[in-house]
Structure 1
Amino acid sequence: MNTRPASEQHIVSQRLLMTFASLSIMAILSIVGFFIHHDYIDDKKQATRSASNIVQLVDRNISEVMRLYDDVLNGMIKTWQSAPLNSLSEDIQHQLLFSRAQDAPSDDGFFILNAHGVVVADSRTAIASPADLSDQAYFTAHRHGSRDALFISPPFKTGPDVDDWNIAFSRRISAPDGTFLGVGVAQMRLEYFYELFQSLELSPDDTINLMSSDGTLITQYPVTIRPLFGTYVGCLPGIQRLFDETDGSFIATSHIYGVEEFAVLLVDTDTRGARQIAEGIRKAVEGMAPITDGGTSVTISLGTYTRQVRTGDTLQELVRKADAALYEAKHSGRNRVVSVSEQQHEQNVA
């Protein structure tokens, strides 16, 4: 027989109810935390795999294109330095010099520059216009350098249109004794990279930036900062870390990582109680340590909706109205709780 007074039984019941509610909140938080962390790890692994696959594909493609351009350049220079070439007509000379130029994708001309930087042969026309290109970066690099290495120029404008951007591949032309004789140059339109990156089927929010090893931005897809093509961006913190790493991948902090949603069904709970539980979840998530070292803390927005159950009610309708409260919380500044009751919803509708 229970001999406790009714008031004591009521206090014990309240304590048990409060303990049960606290344990329920802790269980909810544990489940939420598990799924957020689990989804983050899965997304991180998937993003790393995708980035690695894209980098390998781009690296292989660009390496093949560079090798092709370099082969054509070397063949052109070798032909130019061939003694019998001068005995042939200009048309035959032109055909022999640039016989493989059409093999290079998106080419915008192959050229021979003499020791003064003046164009003496042009793949685009049989009679070259004697343009002075001695101020170009590739000519200066080869004139002052003795190494016969492939030089890749920064991007440069070639016309008035926004898409008129090229890069140049070039090699030094030297006499047997090392004397500087000129430069062999091949220009490639940057549209080649646009088409390559477009074929990768990136997500709508993805961006690819192609940089040289010295931190110069060559191109970007989708293009958002075209005026910065050819400028040095190696001073940016994310780029510095990229150059500091020998290989592998890393994750940098972005403004928005992503959105995870979950639902909690509370039985026999009024609007005030639902809001208290939601606030408990919000504060607990806000107090969690960052998922990554040096990262920002995770925040959460919650929406609650309460009503008396009636015949014909569906869970989908209840979730839809709670979802509307959630989006109101997000649009109001995030990291907050918005609670809507049945009475408030009917007043808003009216």
Structure 2
Amino acid sequence: MTNREKEILELIKENPFITQDELAKQLNIARSSVAVHIANLIKKGYILGRGYIINKLDYVTVIGGANIDINGFPNKKLKLKDSNPGKLKISPGGVGRNIAENLSRLNINTKLLTAIGNDIYGKKIIEHSKNIGIDISDSLILSDFSTSTYLAILDEKGDMAVGLSDMEICEKIDINYIKSKKNIIEKSKAVILDTNLPQKTIEYITKNINNTFIVDTVSTAKTVKILNILNYVHSIKPNIYEAEILSGIKIENKKDAEKAVRNIINKGVKRVFLTMGKDGILCADKNKTIYIKTPKIKVINATGAGDAFTAGIVLGYLNNYSLEKTAKISIAASAITLESEGANSEQLSKENIENKLKEMKL
């Protein structure tokens, strides 16, 4: 969906009886252009024919963290315990929110259930979500909590040297809130969870709501939250350290990695995508294990690459792609994001994923 189509769709959502002349006037474009955009929205399934009936049937729900990212980029080699000349970039972030943005850029209708403060950062997230087509209308907006913030200092290679997060507000995404949104979650085509959620909330969702769950482990410290619900998980994307926690197997080589992945599958997970950095991807389901070598990628910012990978997994599930194809499009989505300064890339699209696959010869 183009930015202009998103603007038109938002106006139609606000007023389903708005005319094409009124749309043209509000957007300061020709009426004929409005007609073309509406025709495209109908073709893409966002509007169901005449009368501007919005298609609300097919969507995924992301439940997780949303915050403001503050990323620091040093001009030269990073010196710890010293002031480094460089530049700072402030943008919406958070694992759940990042995944939701990536899904929206892939033309997947996406609802985000998160918690933000009624402050300047929270308003920035709301505005940004509206601009890129994320439905955030059912999220919590709290006056007595600040929007969570994530600070990352990157090294000269674009890898994170140190990060600090203030995500206390995520504790408010509790069971009572989830119960109030249960109908929305159950009607989703898939549910994506990140482990910034309280453990009790994760366990309640997976055990009491009938759906397909795709989980982002976020970090080693938070991976432990899902040890008791692996049999409810369809797909998961751990790194080596997170896979060690999930499997109980120390990973020192490829053979160990294969054992760990099979162990996680045996615990009930349908698909595992073990990311091993420059050493590639090991993916598995109950029938097979596949190793995919990843080509060298120029890294500008490693933050958010995993979230793009998770969005690729969701895209693969929704389109019933094979294990291998799902892994490859996820790698391509991740590569596009690695080449961006932000945690999300404006270049992420289905078309650019296909182009990246050809470029990477995957």
By relative contact order (CA 8 Å, sep 6+), the higher-ranking structure is 2
TM-score, normalised to structure 2's length? 0.24
